[in-house]
């Protein structure tokens, strides 16, 4: 199904400008150093142009963040939480404005955009509670009259490099936690979604003013690769949290390590779901279709591989193909639309190339893959999500194509299914659909899924902020958001206090 009416670029521009104004964003005139075009994938048109951050400006902003850190780290954590609490309040007030910008710049259907902003509000609430729970341990000392413990201290300036597909949520995961930990933040958003970043920065600036936080707790760099490289290479940036491709991670990780900085990488995901013969197929279809086609397949947790027992493969595949045929593709602002545009025509080209390769490897495209609304929006990339039946897990299946392509593979034994599941370089999210506790527990065991996220009877996407988010292998190994992910933003000190009148040495050493 395809909707025919699309919004006009001028109308989208006006809507974006109104949202920015309500958020208190100031848009300076284009500078001599160059400009960054804010485009919309809904039409492919240009909305606004923004001045790019110069090298000199970036240096000054990092210096300002470092100076603010020296003050911010001494503020009691519960008072730091007040800043994040106020940010959450402002996000709630401007939820519709931010969601509108996310839809305009990233192409998400509006319900998903609203959900992304809700994630921001949720992580702020989580971080406020965390501001009173930055716990260390007390350990038993082997020496009498001694106390052994650990304490956690602010780390420094945190550089955040975010991707287009979650233009605001990932920033908030890092920023809310970093701020309550006593760090300051310098953010380099995707050059594909600068307007959402400008709006978020304006709201955080207002929150800082309202709560008396130092002005330099947050800075925004607008630009391309050069801005990201400044954060990667600057020794004043204690932690670089980067979301993007594996290729990017291969460059960022060694460069940060070379200066003994810290890295938190959230890279590619080639996520799979295993469907067993005992699975509730109604449940499975719902979870699979959302995970594979939601956000037009442009989530790092999108379902890319479906590993189905041969007994139920034909029936399940037919049901998925039927469901795909009912998915409305078109204007993401329309309430009935379920699939918006890809971020660019280049993303469609990569999808088309992947489908060609899959067919050359013996795969059969069962549905989708064709471009929609081409006459109405020649510079936009609306596509129907594709389902491809594959004879084996070929090289193209082992790659991540950031588009709605779902490869269907079959298996005979659960051991074979887990081998197929783990037989890719990425390790972000995974799931199994089963009514068998034994199968579920086997999938969650140490020799089961090798991913950072393993689910039972839900899809691969839709993580909650209470759990740590991240993956293994080429996904990077970092953790963001909930649980104890806050530790990545702090440094640990082990403390020994001698409250006795003697000085016994550890391990019974005699000296003097």
Q: Decide: 256 and 232 in contact? Cβ < 8 Å.
A: yes
What pLDDT, on the 0 to 100 scale, is given for residue 358? Answer: 98
CA 164 to the chain's CA centroid:
9
- Residue 32, pLDDT above cutoff 50: no
Q: Give residue 1's pLDDT band: very low, low, confident or very high (50, 70, 90).
A: low
Q: Where are the alpha helices (DSSP H) in 234-312?
A: 246-258, 281-293
Q: Decide: 426 and 268 in contact? Cβ < 8 Å.
A: yes
> Do 262 and 278 fall into the same domain?
no
Domain assignment present for residue 1? The answer is no
Dump pLDDT digits (tens) for 334-345.
999 999 999 999
Question: Residue 176's domain is classified under what CATH number?
Answer: 3.40.605.10
Using the structure block, give the residue that is written with the tokens 């890719």: 424
Give the separation between CA 186 and CA 225, rounded to whole angstroms.
Answer: 15
Give the separation between CA 11 and CA 43, rounded to whole angstroms.
Answer: 11
What pLDDT, on the 0 to 100 scale, is given for residue 227? Answer: 93
Residue 286, by phi and psi: left (phi above 0), alpha (psi -120 to 50) or beta? alpha
Q: Decide: 222 and 128 in contact? Cβ < 8 Å.
A: no
> Do 209 and 110 fall into the same domain?
yes
Q: How many domains does the chain have?
A: 2
> Do 241 and 277 fall into the same domain?
no
Question: Residue 346's domain is classified under what CATH number?
Answer: 3.40.309.10
> Do 94 and 235 fall into the same domain?
yes
- Residue 4, pLDDT above cutoff 90: no
Give the separation between CA 416 and CA 430, rounded to whole angstroms.
Answer: 16
- Residue 2, pLDDT above cutoff 90: no
Report the candidate in 311, 444, 453, 340 with the shortest Cα–Cα distance to residue 107: 340
Residues 394-422, mean pLDDT to the nearest whole number: 98
Give the separation between CA 417 and CA 440, rounded to whole angstroms.
Answer: 13
| 227 sits in which H/E element | helix 225-233
Domain assignment present for residue 391? The answer is yes
Domain assignment present for residue 501? The answer is no
Q: What angle is formed at CA 500 by the lines to CA 495 and CA 503, rounded to 5 degrees?
A: 75
What pLDDT, on the 0 to 100 scale, is given for residue 462? Answer: 87
Domain assignment present for residue 127? The answer is yes
What pLDDT, on the 0 to 100 scale, is given for residue 281? Answer: 98
Give the separation between CA 347 and CA 384, rounded to whole angstroms.
Answer: 13
319: containing domain: 271-469
Give the separation between CA 451 and CA 455, rounded to whole angstroms.
Answer: 10
What pLDDT, on the 0 to 100 scale, is given for residue 34? Answer: 72
- Residue 506, pLDDT above cutoff 90: no
For the stretch 111-115, contacts whose Cβ atoms lie closer than 8 Å and that sit 24 or more positions apart, written own/partner, are 111/335, 112/294, 112/295, 113/332
> Do 369 and 354 fall into the same domain?
yes
> Do 250 and 168 fall into the same domain?
yes
Residues 389-407, mean pLDDT to the nearest whole number: 98
Residues 183-187, mean pLDDT to the nearest whole number: 98
- Residue 504, pLDDT above cutoff 70: yes
Give the separation between CA 274 and CA 314, rounded to whole angstroms.
Answer: 14
pLDDT > 70 in the chain, percent = 98
> Do 337 and 370 fall into the same domain?
yes
DSSP state of 448: S
What pLDDT, on the 0 to 100 scale, is given for residue 105? Answer: 98
Residues 192-207, mean pLDDT to the nearest whole number: 98
Catalytic residue positions, numbered: 266, 300
Domain assignment present for residue 505? The answer is no
Q: Where are the alpha helices (DSSP H) in 23-144?
A: 55-72, 77-93, 95-106, 110-130
Domain assignment present for residue 308? The answer is yes
Domain assignment present for residue 2? The answer is no
What pLDDT, on the 0 to 100 scale, is given for residue 153? Answer: 98
Give the separation between CA 48 and CA 40, rounded to whole angstroms.
Answer: 10
Report the candidate in 14, 12, 20 with the shortest Cα–Cα distance to residue 40: 12
Dump pLDDT digits (tens) for 70-122.
999 999 999 999 999 999 999 999 999 999 999 999 999 999 999 999 999 99
> Do 231 and 367 fall into the same domain?
no
pTM above 0.85, yes or no: yes
> Do 254 and 276 fall into the same domain?
no
> Do 118 and 98 fall into the same domain?
yes
> Do 383 and 419 fall into the same domain?
yes
Dump pLDDT digits (tens) for 110-168.
999 999 999 999 999 999 999 999 999 999 999 999 999 999 999 999 999 999 999 99
| Tokens encoding 342 | 């890809």
Beta strand extents in 200-311 (DSSP E only): 218-220, 237-243, 262-266, 271-275, 303-309
Report the candidate in 193, 144, 139, 147 with the shortest Cα–Cα distance to residue 171: 193
- Residue 61, pLDDT above cutoff 60: yes
CA 172 to the chain's CA centroid:
10
Dump pLDDT digits (tens) for 422-480.
999 999 999 999 999 999 999 999 999 999 999 999 999 988 999 999 999 999 999 99
> Do 253 and 388 fall into the same domain?
no
pLDDT, averaged across the chain: 96
| 150 sits in which H/E element | strand 146-154
Domain assignment present for residue 416? The answer is yes
Q: In this predicted structure, which of 167-176, 280-289, 405-414, 499-508 has the lowest mean pLDDT?
A: 499-508
């Amino acid at each position: 199904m395809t909707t025919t009416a699309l919004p006009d670029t001028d109308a989208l521009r006006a809507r974006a400008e109104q949202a920015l104004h309500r958020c208190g964003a100031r848009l300076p005139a284009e500078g001599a150093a160059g400009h960054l075009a804010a485009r919309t994938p809904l039409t492919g048109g240009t909305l606004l142009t923004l001045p790019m951050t110069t090298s000199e400006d970036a240096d000054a902003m990092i210096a300002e963040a470092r100076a603010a850190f020296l003050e911010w780290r001494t503020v009691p954590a519960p008072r730091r939480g007040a800043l994040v609490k106020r940010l959450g309040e402002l996000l709630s007030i401007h939820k519709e404005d931010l969601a509108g910008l996310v839809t305009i710049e990233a192409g998400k259907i509006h319900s998903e955009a609203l959900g992304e902003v809700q994630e921001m509000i949720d992580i702020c609430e989580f971080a406020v509670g965390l501001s009173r729970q930055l716990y260390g341990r007390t350990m038993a000392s082997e020496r009498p009259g001694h106390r052994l413990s650990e304490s956690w201290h602010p780390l420094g300036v945190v550089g955040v490099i975010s991707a287009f597909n979650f233009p605001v949520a990932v920033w908030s995961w890092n920023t809310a936690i970093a701020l309550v930990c006593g760090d300051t933040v310098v953010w380099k958003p995707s050059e594909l979604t600068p307007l959402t970043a400008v709006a978020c920065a304006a709201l955080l600036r207002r929150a800082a003013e309202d709560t008396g936080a130092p002005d330099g707790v947050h800075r925004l760099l607008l630009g391309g690769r050069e801005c990201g490289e400044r954060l990667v290479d600057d020794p004043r940036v204690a932690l670089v949290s980067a979301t993007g491709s594996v290729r990017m991670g291969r460059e960022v990780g060694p460069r940060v390590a070379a200066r003994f900085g810290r890295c938190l990488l959230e890279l590619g995901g080639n996520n799979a779901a295993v469907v067993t013969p005992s699975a509730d197929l109604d449940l499975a279809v719902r979870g699979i279709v959302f995970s594979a086609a939601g956000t037009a397949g442009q989530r790092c947790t999108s379902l890319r591989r479906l590993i189905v027992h041969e007994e139920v493969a034909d029936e399940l595949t037919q049901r998925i193909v039927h469901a795909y045929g009912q998915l409305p593709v078109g204007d993401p602002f329309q309430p009935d639309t379920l699939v918006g545009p890809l971020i660019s025509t280049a993303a469609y080209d990569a999808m088309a190339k992947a489908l060609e390769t899959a067919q050359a490897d013996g795969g059969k495209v069962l549905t989708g893959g064709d471009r929609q609304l081409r006459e109405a929006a020649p510079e936009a990339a609306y596509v129907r999500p594709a389902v491809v039946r594959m004879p084996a897990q070929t090289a193209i299946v082992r790659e991540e194509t950031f588009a709605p392509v779902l490869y269907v593979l079959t298996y005979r034994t659960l051991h074979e299914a887990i081998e197929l599941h783990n037989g890719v370089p990425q390790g972000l999210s995974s799931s199994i659909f089963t009514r068998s506790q034994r199968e579920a527990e086997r999938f969650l065991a140490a020799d089961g899924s090798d991913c950072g996220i393993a689910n039972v009877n839900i899809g691969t996407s839709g993580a909650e902020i209470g759990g740590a988010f991240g993956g293994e292998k080429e996904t990077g190994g970092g953790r963001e958001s909930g649980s104890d992910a806050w530790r990545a933003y702090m440094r640990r000190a082990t403390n020994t206090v001698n409250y006795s009148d003697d000085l016994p040495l550890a391990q019974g050493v005699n000296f003097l």
